Structure 1
Amino acid sequence: MTIHKGACFCGAVEIEVSGEPEGMGICHCRSCRSWSGGPVNAFSLWKPEAVTVTKGEENIATFAKTPMSERKFCKLCGGHIMADHPPLGLVDVFSATIPTLEHKPALHVNYSETVLPIRDGLPKFADFPAEFGGSGNIIAE
């Protein structure tokens, strides 16, 4: 089984993910842009049992702006680690947190909010796929 290791910015919190993610993509929503400090956020979705904090759990703080995302970060450096998505039953381990994972996005979500149009041939969902509670509407490149 493949294991990828990652850490927060200062290294006080370390994590491991095992196996393969349930999905990978790019989010364009305003919340993710604001949280990440970038024009997009690369995500990898994992089953909770595939994600383990191996060091520094006491240094993890949580911020929940909405019930959809419980964003986890290091209390010491502010480095972003992951976000629990309770309605989906999945954990988004930010792709930048696990540098050995090759990010292979399959879709874009919340593309109706994009500030950085990306023409890569991948499906661009206005919000989310229907199976994740979204409209399922796709925006043309």
Structure 2
Amino acid sequence: MSSDKSYTGRCFCGAVQFTVNGVPAAMGYCHCESCRHWSAGPVNAFSLWQPDAVQITQGADNIGTYNKTPASYRKWCKTCGGHVFTEHPGMGLTDVYAAVIPDLSFSPQIHVHYQEAVLRIQDGLPKMKDLPGDMGGSGETLAE
């Protein structure tokens, strides 16, 4: 993947549109309770980007924000409720949900918060108890 690659994405109805540029810092699956509840699914596929790689191209005034904790500012479309991304200030990264970037070749490298998993996935990828050490976690891995 070239670092000058650009991808377009949008919310469910298309009122909010954006581009992401370059290469994601990481891609994987989050099993934490917050992500599961927010996504209404047993696991959330993430792609983490540098904040300046994410550009809102339409509907910036239509983006709502909710932060349950200061670690995550979840963003959604005020028209359709479609989730688009989450800002993680402590990590200095923005999670653009893999499902809203249709042309991104999703290539997961890791599972995070696997101790909270309700859906066990045996795919050979590392299963982190919480987060990698360089992202503020314990760095502890768990068995599949």
TM-score (norm 1): 0.99
- Equivalent of residue 39 in structure 1, options 32, 38, 42: 42
Q: Does 1:58 align with 2:48?
A: no
Identity %: 57
- Distance apart, 1:24 and its partner CA: 0.4
| Deviation (angstroms), 1:91 | 0.3
Which digits, 9 at most, give the CA deviation of each residue in 1:80-124, with x for residues without a partner? Answer: 000000001100000011111011110000000001000011100
Distance in 1, matches of 2:49 and 2:140, equals: 24
Question: What secondary structure does 1:32 align onto?
Answer: helix
Question: Is residue 105 of structure 1 aligned with residue 112 of structure 2?
Answer: no
In 2: Cα distance, 1:50 partner to 1:136 partner: 27
- Quote how far apart the aligned CAs of 1:20 are: 0.6
1:26 counterpart residue number: 29
Residue segments in structure 1 that go unaligned for 5+ positions in a row = none
Question: Residue 72 of structure 1 aligns with which residue?
Answer: 75
Report the alpha carbon displacement of residue 32 of structure 1 after superposing the two structures with TM.
0.3
Cα RMSD (Å) of the superposition?
A: 0.5
SS in 2 for 1:34: helix
Aligned to 1:12: 15
* Equivalenced residues, count: 141
| Letter aligned with residue 8 of structure 1 | C
Q: Following the alignment from structure 1 to structure 2, what is the Cα–Cα distance between the partners of residues 119 and 61? A: 35
Deviation at 1:130, TM superposition (A): 0.6
What amino acid sits opposite 2:98 in the alignment? S
Alpha-carbon distance in structure 2 between the residues aligned to 1:82 and 1:73: 7
Q: Which amino acid aligns with 1:63?
A: Y
The answer for unaligned runs of 5 or more in structure 2 is: none
